């Protein structure tokens, strides 16, 4: 039996960008998709657009809407983790899109004799407000993803990081972090998969068109400070400081 994928979209007042994401999921040629939309009681047209999307659904995909107050982005994402019905979950923000209409079909092929890898990951394109390609991400996925990979930064975009839901539920987002809880979460997921000896698969695919503006981008300095704290927690002070010195040197060299 082919795996079910939960595509979770967390929204709040996202009327300007949500339709592109809804169309992207609807265009997928793979039947086993649950589109789970968790909305924080938007006050604009977001909810009406989502409800129209549900009413007009002509795909075999399941679409579910949860709309209730939350304590912020990562609280809403935890709700998605706890409510997801899929074998895998990925978070696709309003404005982000799956790269091609067969993206999920290609990912479904990684099932092996009923065994599902713990993580499927790939590359990401950055796009503008109109969905036009801008560039590849500055950081690219490593050939092999290990717990130490994120010492070099978030090498895999959160939207191109598919996790088995049973594993994801064991590592909820840490609400102490306002801007970079996804960075911490990905590290913990990789650590858990590695401890359990589970397969982590590099698909070598471009999986996502990522809108080049988000919570982390808008709060860049605060996000960097949080990431520094997260790195010291997982890797220790000395490796973190050494790596940040290298980041500065690398930036100077590139100039």
Pairing mode, if any, of strands 62-67 and 161-164? Answer: unpaired
Q: What is the pLDDT averaged over residues 125-138?
A: 86
The CB density around residue 85, as the number of other CB atoms within 10 Å, is 12
Entry pTM: 0.93
pLDDT at res. 99: 95
Q: DSSP assignment, residue 16?
A: T
Give the whole-angstrom CA distance, residue 203 versus residue 223. Answer: 28
In terms of Cα–Cα distance, which of 32, 37, 51 is closest to 9?
37
Structural domains of the chain ordered from first start: 5-220 (3.90.550.10)
Residue pLDDT, tens place only, 73-118? 999 999 999 999 999 999 999 999 999 999 999 999 998 767 899 9
Residue pLDDT, tens place only, 52-71? 999 999 999 999 999 999 99
Helix axes 220-235, 237-254, angle to 10 degrees: 140
Element (H, E) at 132: none
Q: Half-sphere exposure of 33 toward its Cβ, with a 13 Å CA cutoff?
A: 28
Contact 207, 122 (CB under 8 A): yes
Categorize the per-residue pLDDT at 213 as very low, low, confident or very high, splitting at 50, 70 and 90: low
The CB density around residue 214, as the number of other CB atoms within 10 Å, is 18
Q: Half-sphere exposure of 130 toward its Cβ, with a 13 Å CA cutoff?
A: 3
């Amino acid at each position: 039996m082919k795996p079910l994928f939960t595509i979770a979209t967390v929204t709040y007042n996202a009327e300007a960008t949500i339709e592109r994401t809804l169309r992207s999921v609807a265009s997928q040629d793979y039947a086993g998709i649950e589109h789970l939309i968790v909305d924080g009681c938007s006050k604009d047209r977001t909810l009406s657009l989502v409800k129209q999307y549900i009413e007009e659904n002509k795909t075999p995909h399941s679409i579910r809407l949860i709309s209730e107050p939350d304590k912020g982005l990562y609280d809403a994402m935890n709700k998605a983790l706890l409510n997801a019905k899929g074998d895998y979950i990925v978070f696709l923000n309003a404005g982000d899109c799956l790269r091609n209409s067969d993206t999920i079909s290609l990912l479904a092929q990684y099932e092996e004799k009923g065994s599902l890898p713990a993580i499927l990951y790939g590359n990401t394109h950055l796009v503008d407000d109109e969905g036009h390609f801008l560039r590849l991400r500055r950081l690219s996925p490593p050939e092999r993803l290990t717990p130490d990979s994120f010492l070099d930064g978030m090498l895999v975009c959160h939207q191109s990081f598919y996790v088995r839901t049973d594993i994801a539920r064991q590592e909820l987002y840490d609400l102490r972090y306002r801007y970079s809880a996804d960075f911490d979460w990905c590290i913990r997921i990789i650590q858990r998969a590695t401890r359990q000896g589970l397969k982590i698969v590099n698909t070598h695919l471009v999986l996502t068109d990522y809108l080049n503006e988000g919570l982390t981008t808008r709060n860049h300095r605060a996000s960097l400070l949080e990431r520094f704290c997260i790195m010291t927690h997982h890797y220790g002070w000395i490796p973190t400081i050494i790596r940040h010195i290298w980041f500065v040197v690398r930036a100077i060299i590139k100039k």
